[in-house]
Structure 1
């Protein structure tokens, strides 16, 4: 079995010799012909789903208005520039790299290829575990709203959401197969966001006492601000730009 470096070199030689314009010959992996708006839905729905409404509590409360907004703008600019650099490296010497690990391996060698591969799957595993736990908590909250003394406990809710997530993952083998689900997810997210914003505005007008001071002692503020800054960096740099391309 050939190692990744040998495979990439052979692929590049074949591509150079044949000088074909077919996109499928310039990469080692099968690619899809998805429209730009489907890619946009994937990025928006996956990276900016309904949980963005929690940003005010995670970022703005520990940092305050000035530092919070400044941090958002700075992180957006840095993230844009970083993704721009990755996009420029997407195709090197006529060979396209549609995955982070392919790009890292081509530039830095096999060790970085496997290291990036491990980091990617750790990130995906932790993110999906977080989503499953969050979905279980939401399911438990809805159940408690209707039956406060029911037998459905939080571990059961997390187990149910995990099973549903696993079945869904097996049913959707790749991103291109999402299609209809992207529209459903986007619609539900928009409904949730709009309802939450309307209720927040209503509560804001009804609440006459407002306190925008950063809570906690000096030590608490210091560590909370560090955590908030780290969360901003994570949120703006968890995308999949080289792995989702429009052709």
Structure 2
């Protein structure tokens, strides 16, 4: 009944929420409680829009393509178990997070505001920290992927290029081209304005996953000598241990989603029911497609699979090109959503609340903020373009706390739960806290090794 009443109070622009914001929210969340003081979120998105946002946020090519590589360092049994477990746990924690909508009578539009309403300033700033680490780290990672895909596409149609090394336009230039395109799209004001783009991106996600699975099977049968394929995890004991840690970080990255409350803020009607459907839609796509790509890619190439499985494919060239295009298009939508927490934090300090969203001052400030952001991310991506290393690092220290741990901690604080449920929840928290630590160690070791072996601004690929 309370949910029905609350949903009826949502106006077209969602202004009519609780009249007294919490202390943490005061002066931080703006007039409409949105990511920015001047971004009115239109609360009329449907469950399939939410599912599209979730799929776009989580299921990027940077999440799909390294999964066979993770399996290569875990082996068949452990790879399947850890991937399935991560998917089911984050599905569960996403439902818990969606259930906290209006837990205190207020519809919180941001993860940090929700945490602040439960744990005060400590919860608010903890989420701000982890969300920024995950969001910025994710965009750094996928910008490297986009640059690599663009360069690979260029190389595919320039046979005079050597198999590796420089070829016409450098990797750094392609990374910069992608950054420039994102700067333009960043002028769109909010997540709702991206919904059509994200539905296209979701279609590209599905096409990329199906294409990767199909190409793995085709190449595995026709391009690979099956007698040379091994599934044994080779190497010395110490590198094996670090690689297992690294692989766990990759799997954590694959289920990264740090802005589910921000997505929930865009839906209309009964927000909980709508988000339950959206989350279930998104995770059904995720789990089935992740498992398919991981198994097919690992089967095709075994231990020698590339850290980005598409780079292991050798034919047909037209399909390889299509996969690169699908990857870049999907990354566009994902990148834009992950920009928003950082943009919103800055907008709260530089935009004028009393002026229109498209006033000269606010347009100018938005352009300055987005330009600085894109310049910094592009510079770092160009300096250290080690895609696989950052995937594991961001998964371990950004996404694991936000997706596996914090939702349960928030849920446990809000209400009374049975002993069995509480014990199960705390087992998940402890287990994935350990995963976060070992994943971070493995990824830092990999980054250190690459920094030693390659120069800054290395034109890899």
Q: What's the TM-score, normalizing by structure 1?
A: 0.82
Deviations 1:43-89 (A, max 9, x none): 11221133343243332111111001111122122222322322222
Deviations 1:107-149 (A, max 9, x none): 1212432342233223212211222121111111122223327
**Which residue number corresponds to residue 105 of structure 2?**
94
**Which residue number corresponds to residue 41 of structure 2?**
31
> Are 2:238 and 1:238 aligned?
no
How far apart are the structure 1 equivalents of 2:76 and 2:67? 10
1:62 to 66, 73, 96: 73
Distance 1:234 1:155, change over 3 A: closer
> Are 2:4 and 1:22 aligned?
no
Q: What's the TM-score, normalizing by structure 2?
A: 0.46
Structure 2 gap ranges (5+): 1-5, 19-32, 35-39, 269-461
Deviations 1:16-62 (A, max 9, x none): xxx99412222633432111111111111221133343243332111
Superposition RMSD in Å: 2.3
1:133 to 127, 144, 154: 144
SS across alignment from 1:193: helix
Higher relative contact order (CA 8 A, sep 6+): 1
Structure 1 gap ranges (5+): 1-18
CA contact (8 A) 1:47 1:239 kept: no
**Which residue number corresponds to residue 110 of structure 1?**
121
Distance 1:89 1:180, change over 3 A: closer
How far apart are the structure 2 equivalents of 1:46 and 1:238? 6
Distance 1:191 1:82, change over 3 A: closer
Residue 239 of structure 1: how far off its partner (Å): 4.2
How far apart are the structure 2 equivalents of 1:243 and 1:168? 19
CA contact (8 A) 1:132 1:165 kept: no
Count of aligned pairs: 228
**Which residue number corresponds to residue 41 of structure 1?**
52
Distance 1:234 1:185, change over 3 A: closer
**Which residue number corresponds to residue 208 of structure 1?**
226
**Which residue number corresponds to residue 189 of structure 2?**
173
SS across alignment from 2:199: helix
